[in-house]
Amino acid sequence: MNHIDKKDLVGIKNKFQDLKKEVHKGVIGQEETVDGIIKCLICNSHALIEGVPGVAKTLLIKCLAETISGAKLSRIQFTPDLLPSDITGVEIYEKKKGFSTVYGPIFATLVTADEINRAPPKVQAAMLQCMQERQVTIGRNTFDLPKPFFVLATQNPLETMGVYPLPEAQVDRFLFKIKMGYPSREDEKKIILNNIDVKK
C-alpha cells in the first residue's frame, strides 16, 4: 500500500476547498448538497438530487462543470417520449461513407439527468448500463464512456403525473440521494443581492 504524506492530504483538502468556493460563487448556500456531490465525485459514483423546482439543482451541476478543468457537461431532459437512442446515440448509413456512429449526449464527463423519473423503463435500462458498466451499446458495438463519468440526476418530489418509479437496481447505482431544500432566509437575501443591480 502506498504511503500518503500528510502534506499531500493537506494539498488535496485545499483543492476541494477551492472547488467548493468556486461552486458557491454561483450557488449560494446548499452546503450539505455541495458536500454530498463532491463526496460522490471522490468515490467515482453518481448522485440523485430530489427537490422542488427553482432550488438551483441544474445550476449546481453547471457551476461544478465550469470549475473542473477539462470537464464536458451534457444535459438530458427526460420526458415520457424519450427513446434509449436519444441518450446513447445511433448508427446511421450514408451512401458515400457507409455506416457510422453518432454519439449521444451520454458521452460526457458530467451528465445532468434532469427529471430522470419521467423516462419510461426502456430508457431507464439504457441509463442503468451507462451508470453501472460505464459503457454504451450502439447497434452491435460497445463503447467506453469518458473518464471520469459522473451522473447527477434530479427528480421533483411533488409531481406524480407522467412519472415512473426508478428501478431498485438503478437507485442502487447512486451513492447518495440528496434532498435539496429551499435556501435559508439569509441565503435568500444574498441571492437577491447577487441578482439585482444596486445603483449608487
Q: How far apart are CA 131 and CA 137, in angstroms?
A: 13
**Helix, strand, coil in percent for the chain, rounding step 5:** 40, 25, 40
Specify the pLDDT at position 88. 92
Specify the pLDDT at position 13. 74
Specify the pLDDT at position 200. 44
22-47 residue pLDDT tens: 887 778 887 888 888 888 888 888 99
46-95 residue pLDDT tens: 999 888 777 778 788 888 878 877 778 889 999 888 999 999 998 888 88
Residue 194 has pLDDT above 70, yes or no: yes
Q: What percent of the chain has pLDDT over 90?
A: 10
Specify the pLDDT at position 35. 86
Helix 6-24 × helix 57-67 angle, to 10° = 130
Summary mean pLDDT of the chain = 82
Which architecture does CATH list for 9-194? 3-Layer(aba) Sandwich (3.40)
Q: How confident is the model at residue 101 (pLDDT cuts 50, 70, 90)?
A: confident
Specify the pLDDT at position 43. 86
Q: What distances in angstroms separate CA 6 from CA 12, 13, 15, 18, 161, one per listed residue?
A: 10, 11, 14, 18, 52
Q: Where are the domains of the chain?
A: 9-194
